[in-house]
Amino acid sequence: MGYINPLLELPAGRSLRALPPELRAPLVTLLREMRKQANAEAEKAWDRRKAPMAAYWRAVATYARHTAHALEQKGCASQREGGVA
């Protein structure tokens, strides 16, 4: 993805990746759909000039994306960074 996922620095984020693939796959699908829906809500809020709600929904979309990406990864963050935690 081109960035270091901050979610993977959290113990709970690492625990996500310990789940078996058959549990992770449906979660990824759900989170990707949540991201689309949250982005749509952000656009609606922006159109209504509700900037705080637009920012909230963009944050929801970002966290959903980060979580889905974490579930799709195979190695841990320290392995990707050459052993540096």
The C-alpha atoms of residue 73 and residue 70 are separated, in whole angstroms, by 5
Q: Global pTM? A: 0.78
Of residues 41 and 8, the one with the higher pLDDT is: 41
Domain residue spans of the chain: 41-75
For 69-85, write each residue's pLDDT tens digit.
989 876 544 334 443 33
